Amino acid sequence: MIDDILEFNKKFVESKGYEKYITNKYPDKKIAILSCMDTRLTELLPAALGIKNGDVKIIKNAGGVISHPFGSVIRSLMVAIYELGVKEVMVVAHSDCGACHMNSNEMIEHMKARGIKQETIDMIRFCGVDFGAWLDGFEDTEKSVKGTVRAIMEHPLIPEDIMVRGFIIDSVTGELTKV
C-alpha cells in the first residue's frame, strides 16, 4: 500500500497538484484545533468547519485528549501559540469514538499476542509508565472534552488570554455541538 501512495505522490508532484495548497506556516484564522485521528474526520472536520489549507493548525491523536501535561499535544499548542500566532483553541471530539471505552489491560493483551514480551512491559512499568493512565480511554465524551479544555486552560505554560472551547462533532453529519 505504501508503494501505491509513493507512486501517486510522484504523479501528484509531476502534475503540480500541490499548487492549490500553497500557503505559509502561519494559520490565517489564528486557531489551533485538537481533534481525534479518526479517519472519518480527515475530510469531514475541515468541510464541516469551513476551513481550508492554511486556515488553522490541526493537532490529532487518539481521542483528541491530553495524556500528559508536558507531552506532544501541549508542546504543539505552545509552538502554535508562541511561534505561530494562535489565539484560540478548539477541542473537537466526535461521536462513536474508538478511544471511548479503551482498556489498557486489553491493549496489553493485544501487544502480547503480537509478540511484545511481558518482560518488556514490566520493564517499561518499572521505568514509571502507568499504562492505565497512558492507554485507557474515556467513558464519557463530553466529560473528556471538558477535562481536556480544563487541562489546557489551567496549564501553567498556556497564557490566560488564549480562548479554549470544546465541541463534539457528529462523525456522520458533521454537526458541531458546544460542550
Consult the annotation and say whether 38 binds a ligand. yes
Q: How far is CA 69 from the centre of its chain?
A: 14
Q: Looking at the predicted structure, is the pLDDT value of residue 101 above 90?
A: no
Query: Which 3-state string (H, E, C) describes 122-169?
Result: HHHHHCCCCHHHHHCCECCHHHHHHHHHHHHHCCCCCCCCCEEEEEEE
Q: What pLDDT, on a 0 to 100 scale, did the predictor assign at position 174?
A: 98
Kindly list the domain boundaries of the chain, sorted by start residue: 20-97+140-178, 103-136
**94 is annotated as contributing to ligand binding:** yes
H or E element at residue 103: none
Q: What percent of the chain has a predicted confidence (pLDDT) above 70?
A: 100
pLDDT above 90 (res 98) = no
The pLDDT tens digits of the residues spanning 14-65 come to: 999 999 999 999 999 999 999 999 999 999 999 999 999 999 999 999 999 9
pLDDT tens, position by position, 141-178: 999 999 999 999 999 999 999 999 999 999 999 999 99
**CATH class label, 20-97+140-178:** alpha beta
**pLDDT class for 102, splitting at 50, 70, 90?**
confident
| Average pLDDT for 75-84 | 98
Identity of the amino acid at 125: R
Q: Binding site annotation covers 55? A: no
